[in-house]
Amino acid sequence: MTKPLIIENLQVTYDGFHALRGVSLDVNAGESFGLVGESGSGKSTLLRAVAGLAPVTGGTITVNGNPLGSTRTKAFYRDVQMVFQDPYGSLHPRQTVDRLLLEPLAIHGFDDAERRILRALDEVGLGSSFRFRYSHQLSGGQRQRVAIARALILEPSILLLDEPTSALDASVQAEVLNLLEQIRRDRDLTFVMVSHDLAVVTHMCDRLMVMQNGAEVERLTAGALAQQAVTQDYTRNLLVASKGFVRP
């Protein structure tokens, strides 16, 4: 089976602090792989290391068969895009939605911008009427849809999702998660999703890794997590702490 993302013994260090301690994982093509754990466990750092936003001090990252160096090329960003947690902070407040979507197309030299912008907006359920609005004119859910559209517009094969719904209201969270799942099926995308919400990971992901202090605790399927078939006390504690996930 094709492995579009392979990480081996990944290490990230900030000023002597070991944010990632030899983490390894592989993700299958078309799979949604989850990363869970408490704040500071290294989940987001792992995504940022793949995206070239965190200093890799050891180990290897291979994307679609290509080992990554210390910098990321344009070809990498056509293959891999990231959706950040905060839709308020990830969109430029002085740019219209049209400009936000046009920028990556201009950077990568695409000449079919009109078609791609209209397709991306339609795909995330916004439509052309949102094209010339500013981010402050949008709700949180609409802003995150724009962020997803911007990630999709280059037609990547891998999406890195860093808590993509945690800043949204519960009802909007469900809409955005359903949208992401539909897009994954339609485009046969590969997801790596960070979440603190075990119910979200169980719904969205096929397999997951539990992390603590920058290292792997255990790896299991979403089905095993839903049945509480875990082997480590740390994971059991996460289940108990996950509000509404375990019945009293």
Q: Is 247 inside a domain boundary?
A: no
What average pLDDT does range 142-159 have in this prediction?
A: 94
**Total count of domains within the chain:** 1
Q: Does 66 map to a domain?
A: yes
In DSSP notation, 127-192 reads: -GGGTT-BGGGS-HHHHHHHHHHHHHTT--SEEEEESTTTTS-HHHHHHHHHHHHHHHHHHT-EEE
Within a domain: residue 23? yes
Number of H helices, E strands in the chain: 9, 10
pLDDT tier at 246, thresholds 50, 70, 90: very low
Q: Is residue 149 part of a domain?
A: yes
* pLDDT for the residue 88: 75
CA 155 to chain centre: 15
Question: pLDDT at position 243, please?
Answer: 60
Q: Is residue 234 part of a domain?
A: yes
Whether the per-residue pLDDT at 1 is higher than 90: the answer is: no
Give me the percent of the chain exceeding a pLDDT of 70.
97
Instruction: Judge whether residue 169 has pLDDT over 60.
Output: yes
Q: How high is the pLDDT of residue 247?
A: 43
What CATH number is attached to the domain comprising 222? 3.40.50.300
- The answer on pLDDT for 245 being more than 70 is no
pLDDT, tens digit, 9 for 90 and up, residues 17-32: 999 999 999 999 999 9
Instruction: Phi first, then psi: give them for residue 216, nearest 5 degrees.
Output: -75, 135
pTM for this model (two decimals): 0.93
The answer to whether residue 126 is domain-embedded is: yes
Residues 6+ apart with CB under 8 A from 59: 7, 8, 9, 10, 11, 22, 23, 24
Residue 141 falls within a domain, yes or no? yes
Domain contains 51: yes
pLDDT digits (tens, 9 = 90+) for 89-140: 888 888 999 999 999 999 999 989 999 999 999 999 998 899 999 988 999 8
Domain enclosing residue 86, as ranges:
5-241
